[in-house]
Structure 1
């Protein structure tokens, strides 16, 4: 019988579960022994090594491009092509993107278990697509500043590719391009100012994130082709919302830096209160509904907002020693609270 390979930490968890089931009379000793004999300790984390290797490969690719422009010999070589039309670069990166996508699709179909190498090819294709669209902008948009059409084009391309190739990674690029399009489109209609309909960027993206989250929860499940990406949209929507709301709690709905520096933080306290309330509500909902995504994001941003308010209101008003002492005690309380919850769940 083929044994299952687990890490040392995973074996400890499995052993603890088996002991618990044996104590509760759910498993007999002979069955527990049989299950334990079917476990082998993994000698080396090859999957982790593969993940790091692909990350290093992508980072090295980026550094190689940077080094290209720092080497005089290579710069002289590149300068020969400097006068090449932007259309040529657009076609080149478009063809390169197609090559990466085709290779990734074939590799995914032939070796579906090689998720890291497959996603790396998709990621390279996504970057090449972005470069191709960027050069396309230089070709068709020389006389105007309405770049939003290009971002809209990238959304369509990424969206079609993510559905066709069933790639959640490309779907993340789709949502990222959607956010960039939203920012540039609203900026364009506000004459490239920081306010659109009286809202600065943090307030705009708070609403944008809420709408994206609502769509992920109630709209996306009704569209069969987009249903597999629901969880990804849900996470990205919550992150858009909570990050923007956290920024809003710091800067308020101000678009002028000089005006913001003249106010006191208590004048925009309501934004901080809203951020704390929403993050806490998200964490409590996640714990009650057993929604790990909303629980984790809510809890992280609850602490982030809480300690942001702590720094805002106490950093300049109390002694530094007392400040860090309060900080240490508060973290200890959070740790104790988390420990009690963990022990309570372990005893159930």
Structure 2
């Protein structure tokens, strides 16, 4: 088995610790070390970056072709065609790319990055096709929300059919954009929708993704691996919205917010803290690194945001940043101590 240098170091430390603790014998430790081989180059990462560079070069090559007069004339005729024709052409190109990508995935599943690169090109041309579709039916700005919804539905269907978690995440991002546009100024509701401003709406939207996505995909056996990306996007919407809400509250204009005392927004900060602690507790109990990471990250963001809000004006800037530096130093030293405890064998083991 071939492993990266970092993975090899981890395995070496684990085997050495097991041998020192008497869990395994010396011959078994040598046998375990012989079962894997450390590679000097992370070829998986090289392959991934190479294909991303290939996509960038393809885009650059297409733009370079425009310098050719004959091709320039051809592209001029193409782009003088009706938007409906251009929509169909890019939709056809997307279908070809999807067909090639899926066919390669079935026949050569080991070529994961090249297959994903082809599918990503299909996603890009699909976005262009949807854009031309919007121009073809455009009679005003009201179609912007419709295009976002169509994008969310198309990417969602493609992500589930492929299956592709990356395309599914694109779908959720488009869905969030549609939700914001549909409940915002395009719908005529303005800054508020059912008494909620933008951040408060996205708190509910994030909660729906987290719990609704978990409920749905647990009942679809072949797509249960979509739970984590759906939960990650939902938590991102939720916590960013809670953070903004803790600063501005449920106000729809800066004029109204500027006339409010910061203490009147304290309950939003407490809600933000409760959500972060809840995610942290869930992550610890369920051994879920994602919810644990979200919880501890946004808990510290909440604390430091409140620190800036309440002490920025009343504290001398030298003292303010000294306190900030000490707090970061304390966090760093605690993290370093925990890291040393988890990576070094105990004194008893050493003896």
Q: What is the Cα deviation at residue 25 of structure 1?
A: 2.2
Shift of 1:276: 2.1
Give the distance between the partners of 1:264 and 1:81, measured in 2 at CA.
Answer: 59
Judge which range, 248-257 or 55-64, deviates more: 55-64
1:187 equivalent in structure 2: 184
User: 9, 12, 15: which is aligned to 2:12?
Assistant: 15
What residue in structure 1 maps to residue 217 of structure 2? 220
Quick check: 1:6–1:42 contact (8 Å CA) kept in 2?
A: yes
Aligned length: 344
2:296 paired with 1:304 = no
Structure 2 gap segments, 5+ residues each? 347-351
- The alpha-carbon deviation at position 292 of structure 1 amounts to 0.9
- Bigger mean CA deviation after superposition, 47-56 or 194-203: 47-56
Unaligned runs of 5+ in 1: none
User: Who is 2:156 aligned against?
Assistant: 159
- 2:247 maps to which of 247, 250, 259: 250
1:1-348 maps to which residues of 2 (within 5 A)?
4-60=1-57, 81-143=78-140, 145-187=142-184, 190-191=187-188, 193-224=190-221, 226-343=223-340, 345=342
Distance in 1 (alpha carbons) for counterparts of 2:64 and 2:188: 37
TM-score, normalization: structure 2? 0.87
| 8 Å Cα contact 1:189/1:196 also seen in 2 | no
Query: Retained in 2: the 8 A contact 1:208–1:240?
Result: yes
Question: How far apart are residue 227 of structure 1 and its match?
Answer: 2.8
CA separation of 1:192 and 1:90: change in aligned 2, threshold 3 A: farther
Determine helix, strand or coil for the equivalent of 2:81.
coil
Deviations 1:307-327 (A, max 9, x none): 222222222332222222111
Q: Secondary structure at the match of 2:2?
A: strand
Q: Which whole-Å CA distance do the structure 2 matches of 1:127 and 1:262 have between them? A: 45
Distance 1:303 1:112, change over 3 A: same
- Deviation per CA, 1:260-315: give whole Å up to 9, x if none: 34444333222222212211221122012201110011111112222222222222
CA RMSD of aligned residues (A): 2.8
Shift of 1:61: 5.1
Instruction: Compare 273-282 and 139-148 and name the one that shifted more.
Output: 139-148
Is the CA contact (8 Å cut-off) linking 1:162 and 1:171 kept in structure 2?
yes
Deviation at 1:222, TM superposition (A): 1.6
Indicate if the aligned counterparts of 1:87 and 1:139 stay in contact, CA closer than 8 A.
Answer: yes
Q: Matches of 2:246 and 2:55 in 1, distance apart?
A: 36
Q: Do the aligned residues in 2 keep the contact of 1:195 with 1:255 (CA within 8 Å)?
A: yes
Give the Å deviation of 1:329: 1.2
Q: SS of the residue aligned with 2:31?
A: helix
